[in-house]
Amino acid sequence: MPLLDDVLGCWSPGLSVASFTLPDLSRRGNPSVAQNPGSGGMRSAWTWNGNSSATIFLDGNTQHFRNTRPTLITSAGSAGRAFTVTTWIVSTGRSGLFRTIWSTGVNNPGNSPVFEFGVSSSNVIYFYGRQPNFISSSISIALNTAYFLAVGIEAGGSGTVSAGLNGAFSSIGTTNANDGQTCTDEFIGTDGTISGSDKSWFQGHIGETTSFNRLLTLSEIREIYRRGNGASGRQLTGQPPRLPPSDAVREKQTVPQLAGCVMTVRERVCVPDPHDTEHDP
């Protein structure tokens, strides 16, 4: 599993969003704030394998979330940074239109994002980034179906982009080794940078979303999916990454989470994973 130090931000609707803010469970002080929430709020739920799980619901019109500051910071012309973003999604509308799930871009309508991913007009996962590269995958998304989605890119080099659903994770193409622009903004549920009718709003449910500072491995993606839902059917919204139970790290305080796990750092202790039934005595 990834270490806490690998996590740049983790936003979970499992905690209250009555104030229209998704708390940052990575404890880096970077909440994601609802834009155009309306009077009814944006908290919702989706039943997955018999479990009702907390989500945010975006109307596909103007609703989205904006991170207080971008986590995937890049500078124009610099060697591209590695990253991975994982999230849980249910697309409920706008089929045949682009639906951006995550975008790191520039705060200037009309400019292209530094990079983004989402569902294309062909209903497949796409990646756009490190200008001017657009990658359309063969990974299909159906409406009203819940998926765990992971998208990542290696640092510099050939700029290999990987993506997959429900624990899969493999190359979908390559892009530039250098970043084309300096990012100044970050969004969940919209491209955030294209003005007018070209806005690619996401319509549907989004669960816990996490950004990492490196390209995760296939085994790590599988384990996050397994702990979130894959093998156990526990929660639609996944759990923030935890250290292996044999060598866990925690602080004196704990962070309230869906699964009640500990994500703090001060002393090394052995923290048994209450959900790990594979190693029970």
Give the model's pLDDT for residue 185.
84
Maximal CA-CA distance, the chain:
59
Give the model's pLDDT for residue 277.
43
Give the model's pLDDT for residue 189.
93
Q: Whose CA is closest to 89, among 42, 49, 57, 135?
A: 57
Q: pTM above 0.75? A: yes
pLDDT, tens digit, 9 for 90 and up, residues 171-188:
999 887 667 677 788 999
DSSP code of residue 5: G
Give the model's pLDDT for residue 279.
42
Residues 6+ apart with CB under 8 A from 267: 249, 250, 251
Flag whether pLDDT at 263 surpasses 60.
Answer: no
- Residue 18 CA, chain-centre distance (Å), reads 21
If DSSP codes are grouped into helix, strand and coil, which group holds residue 152? strand
If DSSP codes are grouped into helix, strand and coil, which group holds residue 110? coil
CB 9 within 8 A of CB 16: no
Give me the helices (H) in 85-128, please.
none
CB 104 within 8 A of CB 183: yes
196 phi, psi to nearest 5 deg: 70, -145
Give the model's pLDDT for residue 1.
67
pLDDT, tens digit, 9 for 90 and up, residues 129-157:
766 678 999 999 999 999 999 999 887 66
